[in-house]
């Protein structure tokens, strides 16, 4: 299966020369070294882009329907190897096999949906001002797509970008996450086995600054799709903007979940726990701000603290959450909590590393957090949520919108009127009523407003707009030649 030293995947496995420099990928559940991955730089990126340019010249002329047939086969192979893939996802992230299988199935579903888009790839036909003239729009490939992904849901993150990039007729160069090199490697192998021509999917391993930046800067990369933190997204947006390359930036969130006094509190409790702590809070769509009406605050928070205390932390299917992805991230979260307590924030439950190896943090709830506090303002990307007491619905909406982010938001209420109003007024790209802050589906467009992105939407049909150029095509006909 995956080698202990994971190289790049350029053209095909054989086309990727060995690396001189390696980085260590550790197991988040034990802290032990799992693999070495190539620590690549600009030269490797350049070779990968060259392979992509060459392969794309042919692929771009293959009809969309036929491209879709290849993608269907990729999705089918991924499904056949779902256990292999999920095992790697679980190993690299420390999440349970159950969660890893669910994520793999999501990637298969996305593959199937995008394969079907090959039969559509709709443009528009319209009328022309002139006689004997047809006017229409058609989609054209951009060329090479540079795809940069994080490790929180590694197989989903890859599928979300690779399938739409390919169906639109592009070749892809993926900068894999340094925290999930093997998942990307296996994806490339599966694509090759499915018959995707060499050079259309290239995987470069390495760190962001060393391998990601040259990909962003490469003049032959026409579109960069990045999922990751807002800080890095801003930098990528600026660099790519300087050379007028297209970008899709899917960034962080500090997502609010509002519990109204008319909510089904049992249901709200269940969804708060899932939204704040599943995947160890490492979702862009995690709920990290819980806004509770003051007349039910004490009752709800007591129940929530109790339920949080009962959550099981570990890697098995009966556990509720696993470790965070690496030691740096763990230290950052613990440090932020320590500092916050120094400023007067109160940890109600959790707030510490669990004993033993691995990067496990107890699920943590914090109250007495000022809205000017770092903990309220900034994403931590871990199992930590802040609580806020709100007077009423108006104050809940105002507090929900009091963020530089605007990715997802959720409200728990029995009132249709309130739910509808919330959807209209909350600043977010995704709003959920009586559910969680996460849970978007592969055929639906996902993305945020404000600091959570640059307004693009992936996946869904809307992703096609990121990965294709729109061409206006006018055809003049001559009635005399009929
Ligand atoms: P990150 O921004 O540190 O890294 C993401 C990827 O970018 C990695 O592959 C990394 O190597 C690369 N990278 C880092 N610096 C780079 C640079 N200067 N130039 C080019 N590439 C660079 O994020 P992370 O900690 O790996 O992931 C967590 C973040 O991702 C959170 O902020 C989370 O909200 C966000 N996220 C967003 C979505 C979404 O759809 N909006 C989904 C998942 C995760």
Each residue of 220-259: pLDDT tens digit? Answer: 999 999 999 999 999 999 999 999 999 999 999 999 999 9
Nearest CA to ligand 1 atom 13: 208
Q: DSSP letters of 227-277?
A: ES-HHHHHHHHHHHHHTT-EEEEE----EEEEE-TTS-HHHHHHHHHHHHH
Would the CB of 175 count as within 6 Å of ligand 1?
Answer: yes
Rounded CA separation 175/185 (Å):
11
Would the CB of 72 count as within 6 Å of ligand 1?
Answer: no
Tokens of 373: 């506090």
Q: Which of the residues in the chain have pLDDT under 70?
A: 1, 14-18
CB proximity list for 383: less than 8 A, separation 6 or greater: 276, 277, 280, 281, 321, 324, 350, 361, 362, 363, 364
Catalytic residue at 284? yes
Nearest CA to ligand 1 atom 32: 229
Would the CB of 440 count as within 6 Å of ligand 1?
Answer: no
Residue 476 confidence (pLDDT) = 98
CA atoms within 13 A on the CB side of 98: 11
- Can you tell me which residue has the tokens 């042919």? 58
Ligand 1: residue of 180, 204, 229, 460 to mutate (most ligand atoms within 8 A of CB) is 229
Rounded CA separation 153/138 (Å):
33
Would the CB of 149 count as within 6 Å of ligand 1?
Answer: yes
Residue 39 confidence (pLDDT) = 96
**What is the whole-number distance in angstroms between the Cα of residue 112 and the centre of ligand 1?**
26
Q: Which of 284, 287, 345, 386 is catalytic?
A: 284
Q: Write the pLDDT tens digit of every residue in 369-379.
A: 999 999 999 99
Say if residues 443 and 281 touch (Cβ distance below 8 Å): no
Nearest CA to ligand 1 atom 9: 177
Rounded CA separation 272/38 (Å):
39
Would the CB of 308 count as within 6 Å of ligand 1?
Answer: no
**What is the whole-number distance in angstroms between the Cα of residue 106 and the centre of ligand 1?**
20
Rounded CA separation 452/276 (Å):
18
Residue 235 confidence (pLDDT) = 98
Q: Strand, coil or helix: what is 431?
A: strand
Decide: pTM greater than 0.95.
Answer: yes
Would the CB of 429 count as within 6 Å of ligand 1?
Answer: no
**Angle, nearest 10°, between helix axes 416-425 and 393-400?**
30
Would the CB of 207 count as within 6 Å of ligand 1?
Answer: yes
Residue 22 confidence (pLDDT) = 95
Residue 3 confidence (pLDDT) = 83
Would the CB of 381 count as within 6 Å of ligand 1?
Answer: yes
Torsion of CA 97, 103, 106, 110, to 10 degrees: -130
Q: DSSP letters of 366-418?
A: EES--TTSHHHHS---SSEEEEEEESSHHHHHHHHT-SS--SEEEEE-S-HHH
Cis peptide before 459 (omega within 30 of 0): yes
Q: Give the number of residues written for the chain.
A: 482
Q: Which atom of ligand 1 is nearest to the CA of 160?
A: 40
Nearest CA to ligand 1 atom 40: 250
Q: Whose CA is closest to 385, among 252, 255, 289, 305?
A: 289
Q: Whose CA is closest to 66, among 139, 119, 141?
A: 119
Say if residues 69 and 62 touch (Cβ distance below 8 Å): no
Catalytic residue at 235? no
**What is the whole-number distance in angstroms between the Cα of residue 118 and the centre of ligand 1?**
29
Would the CB of 469 count as within 6 Å of ligand 1?
Answer: no
**What is the whole-number distance in angstroms between the Cα of residue 250 and the centre of ligand 1?**
9
Give first-to-last CA distance, the chain, whole Å.
61
Q: Strand, coil or helix: what is 150?
A: coil
Nearest CA to ligand 1 atom 30: 228
Residue 13 confidence (pLDDT) = 73
Q: Which of 92, 178, 189, 250 is catalytic?
A: 250
**What is the whole-number distance in angstroms between the Cα of residue 229 and the centre of ligand 1?**
4
Residue 15 confidence (pLDDT) = 57
Ligand 1: residue of 228, 235, 430 to mutate (most ligand atoms within 8 A of CB) is 228
Rounded CA separation 270/412 (Å):
11
Gyration radius (Cα) of the chain, Å: 23
Q: Tell me how far CA of residue 263 lies from CA of 268, 298, 379, 419, in angstroms.
A: 7, 15, 27, 11
């Amino acid at each position: 299966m995956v080698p202990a030293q994971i190289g790049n995947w350029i053209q095909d496995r054989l086309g990727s020369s060995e690396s001189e420099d390696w980085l260590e990928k550790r197991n988040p559940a034990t802290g032990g070294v799992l693999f070495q991955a190539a620590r690549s730089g600009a030269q490797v990126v350049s070779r990968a882009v060259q392979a992509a340019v060459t392969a794309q010249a042919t692929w771009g002329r293959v009809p969309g329907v036929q491209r879709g047939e290849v993608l269907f086969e990729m999705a089918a192979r991924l499904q056949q190897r779902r256990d292999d893939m999920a095992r790697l996802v679980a190993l690299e992230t420390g999440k349970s096999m159950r969660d890893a299988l669910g994520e793999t199935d999501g990637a298969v579903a996305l593959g199937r949906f995008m394969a079907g888009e090959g039969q559509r790839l709709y443009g528009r036909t319209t009328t022309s001002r002139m006689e004997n003239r047809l006017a229409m729009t058609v989609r054209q490939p951009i060329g090479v797509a540079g795809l940069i992904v994080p490790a929180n849901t590694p197989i989903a993150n890859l599928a979300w970008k690779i399938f739409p990039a390919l169906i639109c007729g592009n070749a892809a160069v993926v900068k894999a996450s340094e925290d999930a090199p093997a998942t990307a490697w296996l994806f490339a192998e599966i694509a090759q086995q499915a018959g995707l021509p060499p050079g259309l999917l290239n995987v470069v391993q390495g760190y962001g600054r060393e391998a990601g930046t040259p990909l962003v800067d490469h003049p032959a990369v026409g579109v960069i799709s990045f999922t990751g933190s807002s800080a890095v997204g801003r930098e990528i947006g600026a660099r790519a903007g300087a050379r007028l390359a297209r970008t899709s930036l899917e960034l962080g969130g500090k997502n609010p979940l509002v519990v109204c006094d008319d909510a089904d509190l049992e249901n709200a409790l269940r969804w708060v726990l899932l939204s704040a702590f599943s995947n160890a809070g490492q979702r862009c769509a995690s709920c990290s701000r819980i806004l509770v009406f003051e007349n039910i605050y004490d009752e709800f928070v007591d129940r929530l603290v109790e339920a949080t205390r009962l959550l099981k932390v570990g890697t098995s299917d009966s556990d509720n959450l696993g470790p965070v992805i690496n030691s740096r991230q763990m230290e950052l979260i613990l440090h932020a909590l320590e500092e916050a307590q120094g400023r007067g924030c109160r940890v109600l439950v959790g707030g510490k590393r669990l004993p033993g190896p691995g990067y496990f943090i107890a699920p943590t709830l914090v109250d007495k957090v000022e809205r000017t506090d770092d903990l309220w303002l900034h994403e931590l990307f871990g199992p930590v949520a802040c609580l806020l007491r709100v007077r009423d619905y108006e104050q809940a909406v105002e507090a929900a919108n009091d963020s530089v982010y605007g990715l997802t938001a959720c409200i728990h209420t029995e009132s249709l009127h309130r739910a509808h109003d919330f959807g209209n007024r909350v600043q977010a790209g995704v709003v959920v009523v009586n559910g969680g802050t996460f849970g978007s589906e592969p055929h639906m467009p996902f993305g945020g407003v404000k600091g959570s992105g640059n307004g693009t939407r992936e996946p869904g049909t809307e992703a096609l707009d990121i990965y294709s150029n729109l061409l206006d095509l006018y055809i003049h006909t001559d009635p005399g030649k009929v």
